[in-house]
Amino acid sequence: MTEQSEAYAAALAVMDAHMAALNAQDNQALTATLHFPHHRLASGRLQTWTSPESYLDDFYARAGEGWSHSAWDKRDLIAASADKAHLDVAFTRYRADGSALGQFRSLWIIARIDGRWAAAFRSSFAA
């Protein structure tokens, strides 16, 4: 396996774990998929969460009224090295009845820091 394919596999594993934890509302598992501080550029603002608690409070506030679960629509590799992968992703947020709240594109940067793969930065078109 090449460094690029290993990084992509690690990044996909992080993203799978992130979505599973998000949908299960398993806060401990969700924050384990993120590096802190965690950074997100969206709506013209760079936001930094310094702790898991601050991240979780914010996510549930911005997920949208009626949010039930989310799903990845695509996760395409842009570039990767031994310690980092950049992914072009799209996801949909859903209500409990299966209707979509919204579909969004994002750039996710998954990095291996101190031996652990997790999301370090996102740039999102989601609110």
* Residue 57 exposed, middle or buried by CB count within 10 Å (0-12, 13-18, 19+): exposed
pLDDT digits (tens, 9 = 90+) for 102-121: 999 999 999 999 999 999 99
pLDDT digits (tens, 9 = 90+) for 61-105: 777 788 999 999 999 999 999 999 999 999 999 999 999 999 999
Contact assessment for residue 122 and residue 106, using Cβ atoms and an 8 Å cutoff: yes
The two three-digit tokens of residue 89, written as one number:
């992703």
What structural domains does the chain harbor?
3-124 (3.10.450.50)
pLDDT digits (tens, 9 = 90+) for 14-23: 999 999 999 9
pLDDT bracket for residue 54 (50, 70, 90)? confident
Q: Which residues pair with 85 in a beta bridge?
A: 80, 110
The two three-digit tokens of residue 110, written as one number:
């998954």
- Can you give the pTM of this predicted structure? 0.91
Percentage of the residues of the chain whose pLDDT score is greater than 70? 98
> Which pLDDT score, from 0 to 100, does residue 41 have?
94
Rounded to an integer, what distance in angstroms lies between the CA atom of residue 110 and that of residue 116? 10
pLDDT above 70 for 127: no
Q: How far is CA 89 from CA 96, 102, 108, in A?
A: 23, 14, 7
